[in-house]
Amino acid sequence: MQPHYRFAGFMGKRVHLGVSGSIAAYRSLDLLRALLEADCTVSATLTESAARFVTPLSFEALGASPVYGSMFEAAPSGGSAFGHLEPGQEAEVMVIAPATANVLAKLAHGLADDMLSCQALAFPGPKIVAPAMNPRMWDSPATRRNWDLLDILGYTRVQPDSGHVACGDTGDGRLAPLENILIETLKALSPQDLAGKRVLVTLGPTREPWDGVRFWSNPSSGTMGACLAMAAVLRGAEVTIVAGPTALEFPPNATVVSVTTAREMHDACLDLWPGMDIGCATAAVADFHPVPFGPEKYKKGGIESLTVHFEPNPDILKALGESKTEGQKLIGFAAETSNLKEEAARKLDSKRLDLIAANDISRQGSGFGTPTNEMFVLDSAGRRETWPVLPKTEVAWRLWDHLQLG
């Protein structure tokens, strides 16, 4: 799982995981692990057919408790005699992944003929459903109607993926990426203090071409921006990411605009900015681009030295600051190797920022390609804080806490 999904701190919040009988049932074990890593507690129910693919013992061994099976078995250890009601009383969110066509139909119509369907019917909190089935079953009119009904009933629906499925067919019906299910689950456990806010995040490096195959760039992975974007999604914001070339993947509840050069990033951001409430510029934008040699590959041809000319790129964050309107907030980042605090203060002022987060990229555990950062945070009200080395997910969470949204 990429680092921008590794949120922790959901201390003790209980998730009830429902597993039904699809070959994808084994993937719910990874979902269980991801939820435990996020500091959730997890209970689970396996349908009778799920228990043919994976065993209750696997869930127990990884840390789920209690693990329910049949309605009329003795209550599992840690469970209650009213197992069909207990998750609805104790858990904050219920996730059914994978959900078969049969389970979708039961949920859509309120059937309650086994433990999982009873628990779902008796669950008053948010419910998330992630289907997995053969593409022809997924495409059948009955499943389509049940899927629409689940929307009307208030389920959060995680769309299945398309591709090859176990039986050899191709189409929609594969269990969605676990990251998509995880994000929806953690969102149901998060404060929705950014609900209604439109957030723009720039991230990653830019790539400035010089000839037909070569470019000028930097090693930014885009992780800090991705963490800010995911934290905003979890807290209810509508997030648009303008991403330079990165290997990062995002769930469908963030809009991604992919760009290559600083000038493309600039144009995309300036187009989007008037419709945004908050902008976060985490991208490591190249300050200069080479004057292109041309569309061909440059041939070395025996020369001993080569001079490449560079021209300045636009400062995207400065342009956003200059066109900032009343009520818009702007967060900048500063990656420095010296005079961290002075540089942060200068950039806060010159780029008209509301908050700047600066880090010394020469220090261990801070900067490009690391999953952690050590931040000096300064805002326009004069608040100054130095934070210890923290996971970038935690830095992102704290930055949203810190930004005064009043």
Catalytic center residues: 167
Q: Which is nearer to ligand C5P, 255 or 350 (CB)?
A: 350
Which one-letter amino acid corresponds to residue 319? Answer: A
In the region spanning residues 56 to 115, those forming contacts with ligand C5P, defined by CB under 6 A, are none
- Each residue 175-214 as x (binds ligand C5P by CB under 6 A) or -, in order, gives ---------------------------x------------
The C-alpha angle 191, 193, 198, rounded to 5 degrees, equals 130
The reply to whether omega before 219 is within 30° of 0 (cis) is no
Identify the bridge partners of residue 373 per DSSP, sorted by sequence position: 390
In this chain, which of 189, 201, 239, 316 binds ligand C5P, going by CB under 6 A? 316
CB-CB neighbours of 253 under 10 Å: 17
Span near ligand C5P by CB under 6 A; candidates 159-167, 276-284, 360-368, 393-401: 276-284
Residues with Cβ within 8 Å of residue 115, at least 6 apart in sequence: 45, 47, 68, 69, 70, 71, 83, 84
In this chain, which of 313, 359, 370, 372 binds ligand C5P, going by CB under 6 A? 313
- Are 251 and 180 in contact by the 8 Å Cβ rule? The answer is yes
- Are 187 and 234 in contact by the 8 Å Cβ rule? The answer is yes
Q: Which is nearer to ligand C5P, 22 or 202 (CB)?
A: 202
Q: Which is nearer to ligand C5P, 239 or 316 (CB)?
A: 316
Backbone angles phi, psi at 348, to 5 degrees: -55, -45
In this chain, which of 148, 271, 287, 342 binds ligand C5P, going by CB under 6 A? 287
285 binds ligand C5P (CB under 6 A): yes
Residue among 108, 103, 180 nearest 148 (CA): 108
- The Cα 83–Cα 61 span in angstroms is 20
Q: Is 155 helix (H, G, I), strand (E, B) or coil?
A: coil
In this chain, which of 333, 376, 397, 400 binds ligand C5P, going by CB under 6 A? 333
Q: Which two tokens stand for residue 237?
A: 């914001």
In this chain, which of 205, 332, 367, 391 binds ligand C5P, going by CB under 6 A? 332
289 binds ligand C5P (CB under 6 A): no
Question: How many Cα atoms sit within 13 Å of 350 on the Cβ side?
Answer: 9
Span near ligand C5P by CB under 6 A; candidates 8-16, 77-85, 100-108, 283-291: 283-291
* Minimum separation from the CB atom of position 250 to ligand C5P (A): 18
Span near ligand C5P by CB under 6 A; candidates 53-61, 125-133, 327-335, 367-375: 327-335
CA dihedral 10, 14, 17, 18 (to 10 degrees): -150
In this chain, which of 283, 330, 396, 399 binds ligand C5P, going by CB under 6 A? 283
- Each residue 334-373 as x (binds ligand C5P by CB under 6 A) or -, in order, gives x------------x--------------------------
- On the 0-12 / 13-18 / 19+ scale of CB atoms within 10 A, 69 is buried
Span near ligand C5P by CB under 6 A; candidates 132-140, 160-168, 240-248, 310-318: 310-318
Q: Which is nearer to ligand C5P, 133 or 330 (CB)?
A: 330
- Are 318 and 351 in contact by the 8 Å Cβ rule? The answer is yes
* Minimum separation from the CB atom of position 391 to ligand C5P (A): 20
- Are 47 and 116 in contact by the 8 Å Cβ rule? The answer is yes
281 binds ligand C5P (CB under 6 A): yes
Residue among 397, 373, 403 nearest 7 (CA): 397
397 binds ligand C5P (CB under 6 A): no
Q: Which is nearer to ligand C5P, 104 or 396 (CB)?
A: 396
Q: Which two tokens stand for residue 245?
A: 């070339």
* Minimum separation from the CB atom of position 332 to ligand C5P (A): 4
Q: Which is nearer to ligand C5P, 161 or 315 (CB)?
A: 315
CA distances from 223 to 214, 358, 367 (A): 24, 15, 10
**Which residues make up the interface to ligand C5P (CB under 6 A)?**
202, 262, 281-283, 285, 287, 313, 315-317, 332-334, 347
